[in-house]
Amino acid sequence: MTYPIPVTILTGFLGSGKSTILSAVLKSDAFSNAAVIVNEFGDVGLDDFMVVHSEEQIVEMTTGCLCCTIRGDITQSLLDLLEKRKSGAIKPFDHVIIETTGLADPAPVLHTLATHPQFMIQTRINGTLVTLDGINGLHTLDQYDECVKQLALADRIVLTKTDLEIDPAAVHDLKVKVRDINAHAPFVEKAQVLEDLPGLFSFAQLDQDVKRADLEKWLGQDQHEHHHHHDHNHNHDHGKTIHSFSLTFEEPVSQQAFVLSMRMLLGNQGENLLRIKGIIRLAHEPERPYIIHGVQHVFHEPAVLDHWPEGVSDTTLVFITRGITKETIETYFKTWLNPEHVDMLEALE
């Protein structure tokens, strides 16, 4: 029984094509060892592919993939799946895909996965996959905060309906608008999804043998290299401006000062820090990079690598915020990482 089990969040606004992707997953032999948590069986339209149907609302597809509906809430559904897997009541699975509703904010699910004691041991967050309607996306982004929030938390964006008759200029405008919300998540179009469905659910993970390309992919910098030091803004009529930017520090940073600056930032601005990813070079242990990843006020336990990827040595932090400018974040770090504060903190140790 291998842990942790990767968990992928599949989200997207109403009518953006989540069910189409789920249907393809459940019919694919490549996902024979996966478990999928959906809102309603009927929405996916898979009656002909079900071979086992139980009162527990868990079905096995002809491909071997398990599918269950959400009972009560996502947390309880996932706990039930893990317990049944452990007891042998259902076949083992090595990947979980969770579908959220079209109006859902994925942040609470990510929070739960990052902080629930059982999930912290038995699962890991694989990534967040967001579907976006290529025809109606511009209108949806202008009208619904939920769509903006989903895209801000995306690790990968599936642009749907681009195979229909659609003005290429409109698709370009949509991508530009999305880049102002999330400058880093790569776009995937429907044809690519069908060509490599397993690849759609494969996200860069950092381990002890991480290469520079892997790190850049995880941070999202391989998608938007020329934007590393720019602040991208999305002015939304129904909410605060979304900013997407990165900060780089060439010198190693004090652990005490960095922790304090992050605590101050989270305490004052936590709900508006939609996402933070970073690799940190600490002054007391500069040869070992620390990896951080947080959504709003909740952070995963930092990971520590044995060495830096070749060609990488600077602290890099990638932010997606709501109503917080790059200059504001820089001020926090300039205040708390300046030598006077560092000396004071070290004297108190």
* CATH code for the domain defined by 212-348: 3.30.1220.10
d(CA 286, CA 165) in angstroms, rounded, equals 53
* 5-200 and 212-348: identical CATH topology: no
| pLDDT tens profile 143-176 | 888 899 899 999 999 999 888 877 889 899 999 9
pLDDT at 105 over 80: yes
Residues 236, 242 contacting (CB under 8 angstroms): yes
For residue 286, whether the previous peptide bond is cis, meaning omega lies within 30 degrees of 0, is no
Q: What is the pLDDT of residue 282?
A: 93
Which CATH fold topology does 5-200 show?
Answer: Rossmann fold (3.40.50)
* 295 residue type, one letter: V
Give the tokens for residue 65. Answer: 């993939």
| pLDDT tens profile 60-72 | 888 889 988 876 7
What is the residue-averaged pLDDT of the chain? 82
Stronger pLDDT, 93 or 219, i.e. the higher one: 93
| pLDDT tens profile 287-339 | 999 998 888 878 888 888 888 888 888 899 999 898 899 999 998 888 877 76
In this prediction, residues 227-232 reach a mean pLDDT of: 48
Closest to 318 in 3D by CA, of 236, 227, 253: 227
Whole-Å CA distances, 40 to 58, 69, 128, 293:
11, 6, 20, 31
The ranges assigned to domains in the chain are 5-200, 212-348
| pLDDT tens profile 191-216 | 788 789 999 999 876 665 666 666 67
The position carrying tokens 């992919």 is 217
Q: For strands 242-249 and 315-322, give the pairing.
A: antiparallel
- Counts of helices then strands in the chain (DSSP H, E): 14, 16
Q: What is the pLDDT of residue 138?
A: 92
Which letter, b or e, does each residue of 170-195 get, where b requires 16 or more Cβ atoms within 10 Å of its Cβ?
Answer: ebeebeebbbbbbbbbebbbbeebee
In this prediction, residues 239-254 reach a mean pLDDT of: 84
Q: What is the pLDDT of residue 264?
A: 83
Stronger pLDDT, 276 or 235, i.e. the higher one: 276
pLDDT at 97 over 80: yes
| pLDDT tens profile 19-60 | 889 888 988 999 999 999 987 655 554 544 444 444 457 888
In this prediction, residues 116-129 reach a mean pLDDT of: 94
The residue ranges of DSSP E strands in the chain, in sequence order, are 5-12, 34-38, 50-53, 58-61, 66-69, 95-99, 123-133, 156-160, 187-189, 232-234, 242-249, 273-280, 290-295, 298-299, 303-304, 315-322
pLDDT at 131 over 90: yes
Q: What is the pLDDT of residue 150?
A: 93
pTM of the model: 0.81
pLDDT at 236 over 60: no
Residues 317, 285 contacting (CB under 8 angstroms): no
> Which H helix or E strand runs over 115?
helix 107-115
Residues 297, 272 contacting (CB under 8 angstroms): no
Residues 180, 155 contacting (CB under 8 angstroms): no
Whole-Å CA distances, 266 to 30, 40, 261:
40, 36, 9
